[in-house]
Structure 1
Amino acid sequence: MEEDEDHWKLGIFYYNKDDKRLFPPKRNKFLGWTVNFANPYSILAMFLVITVFIFVVESIKKM
């Protein structure tokens, strides 16, 4: 599924309504996973990742 060019927007954003996975593998499976932006939970997942990243950075700054 993730190999189909029609499901990759601008070549980097995976958007496939038929694929229910939130984190499908990237085109090159050795590079990890990407987010399926057609999944309704994708925005929440990205928000959580960014929030955790900011929290970690701010915690390190205070050390």
Structure 2
Amino acid sequence: MKSEKPTQEDYDNWHKDPKNWYLFNTCYYNPKDKRLLPPKKIQWMGYTINFANPYSVMLLLPFIIIVILVLLK
């Protein structure tokens, strides 16, 4: 089993692969990519969440709770 850190070429290939992008290229899902916040499809727009990373739920949950609390007020 390969335990080496992915190369920049690996990251670039994963980023270009359309199979890793969902919902009109807005959601990134790649279990091989361990980064929590990879660059968005259009890189100058910032970062997105890698939904294959188990920590993504911990990042999104507080945001969702805050949005719900604001909408309920």
TM-score if structure 2 supplies the norm length? 0.64
Root mean square deviation of aligned Cα:
1.9
List per-residue Cα deviations over 1:4-63 (Å, max 9, x = no partner): 1000122221000000000000011110000000000111101133445678x6xxxxxx
User: Is 2:42 the partner of 1:28?
Assistant: yes
**% same residue:** 45
Superposition misfits of 4+ residues, deviation over 4 angstroms: 51-55
Q: Which stretches in structure 2 are left out of the alignment for 5+ residues?
A: 1-13
Counterpart position of 1:44: 58
For 1:9 and 1:54, locate their aligned partners in 2 and report how far apart those are by CA, in whole Å.
24
Q: Give aligned pairs, total.
A: 58
Local SS of the residue matching 2:57: helix
